[in-house]
Amino acid sequence: MTKRACGFVIFRRIRGMIEYLLMQVSYGEHHWTPPKGHVDPGESDMETALRETEEEAGLSASDLNIFENVKHELNYHVNGKPKVVVYWLAELLDPEKPIRLSHEHQTFKWLSLEEACVVAKYQDMQNALKYFNDHILKNLS
Ligand SMILES: Nc1ncnc2c1ncn2[C@@H]1O[C@H](COP(=O)(O)OP(=O)(O)OP(=O)(O)OP(=O)(O)OC[C@H]2O[C@@H](n3cnc4c(N)ncnc43)[C@H](O)[C@@H]2O)[C@@H](O)[C@H]1O
C-alpha cells in the first residue's frame, strides 16, 4: 500500500529575497524537507498538511497564505514501498515569525532556491521547489 504524506513548501519574502523553509530531521540520515508528515486515518490531505506544519514548525493556518491551487506531488520509494508526498505552496505572512521545532527536527534554515536545491538533495524535491519558484515569479512578484 502506498504511504501518503502532505505538507507545505513555505516561502517568505524578506529583504527583497525569496527564501524557502527546510528542516533537518533528527533521526536516520538527517535529511532535509519542508514540513510534512503522514496522513492519519480520516484526515484530508489539507488537514494533514496543517497539523504537521503546526506540530513541526509551530506555524498555524493564520500564519500562512496557502495557495490551494498550487500543489506538486512527489513519488518515491522508502524501504521498497511506494510513497506519495503532496505539497502546497504557502507564504509566511510575517517573515520574522519564529519557527518552533519539535523533537522530530534538529534544525531549520531559510534558503534561496539555489541553496534549497542543494540541501534538499533529491531531484524530485528540487523540481518541486523550482515549480513553486516559477509560480511565485510569474504570479506573485
Ligand atoms: N530512520 C528513522 N529513525 C527513527 N525514527 C524514524 C526514522 N524514520 C522515520 N522515523 C519516525 O517517523 C516519524 C515521521 O513521521 P511523519 O513526520 O509523520 O512522516 P514523514 O515526514 O513522511 O516521515 P519521514 O521523515 O520518514 O519521511 P521522508 O519521506 O522525508 O523520509 C523517509 C526516507 O526517504 C528519503 N527521502 C526523502 N525525500 C525523498 C525523495 N524526494 N526522494 C527519495 N527519497 C526521499 C529520506 O532520505 C528517508 O530515508 C518521526 O516521528 C520519526 O520518529
Q: Which atom of ligand 1 is nearest to the CA of 36?
A: 21
Indicate the length of the chain as a whole number: 141
Amino acid at residue number 3: K
pLDDT digits (tens, 9 = 90+) for 66-85: 999 999 999 999 999 999 99
Q: How confident is the model at residue 51 (pLDDT cuts 50, 70, 90)?
A: very high
35 within ligand 1 shell (Cβ under 6 A): no
Cell of 86: 503532496
Which helix (H) or strand (E) covers residue 54, if one does? helix 45-57
Which residue in this structure is represented by grid cell 503532496?
86
pLDDT digits (tens, 9 = 90+) for 99-114: 999 999 999 999 999 9
Please list, residue by residue across 20-42, b when 16 or more beta carbons sit within 10 angstroms of its beta carbon and e when fewer do: bbbbbeeeeeeebbbbbbebeee
ipTM, interface predicted TM-score of the complex = 0.91
Pocket residue to mutate for ligand 1, from 3, 31, 106, most atoms within 8 A of Cβ: 31
